[in-house]
Amino acid sequence: MKKRRNSNKNTFLAILKGEFIAHNNNIKYTPYILMLVGLMLINISVSFRAERLLKDSIYLENRIADLRLVYIDTKANLTSMYRRSVIEKLVANTGLKTSLNPPVIIEYSE
């Protein structure tokens, strides 16, 4: 039992040190090991990209909320400017005044 633990420990240490690859018997496994390393790098790259996309998504959602508030504020300001009293004040310096006579309907008959 003790011998088995030692052999497992030695095998694990040999893998960590890289001696596993240096043996002539294990050279045939090199392409598989390189493929595993490549897949791990791709996995890391994909996870970083997903994190970046998540951050961008959160930023854009916050930006949309801010723009919605600006839209509501601008719409309220414009709505208040459409009142008759505000328009009369804006055009008062040009000499325009509200007509005191009601509008007359012009009818055309042939």
The pLDDT tens digits of the residues spanning 73-110 come to 999 999 988 888 888 888 888 888 888 888 888 888 87
Per-residue pLDDT, 38: 97
Cα separation, 81 vs 90, in Å, equals: 9
Six-digit token string for 47 = 């996870």
CB 51 within 8 A of CB 42: no
CA atoms of 89 and 62, how far apart (whole Å): 38
pLDDT grade, residue 61 (50/70/90)? very high
pTM: 0.54
Tell me: the pLDDT tens digits for 8-60? 777 778 777 777 666 667 778 788 889 999 999 999 999 999 999 999 999 99
User: How many Cα neighbours within 13 Å face the side chain of 21?
Assistant: 8
Task: Give kind and range of the element (H or E) at residue 32.
Answer: helix 30-81
The pLDDT, as a whole number, for residue 75 is 95
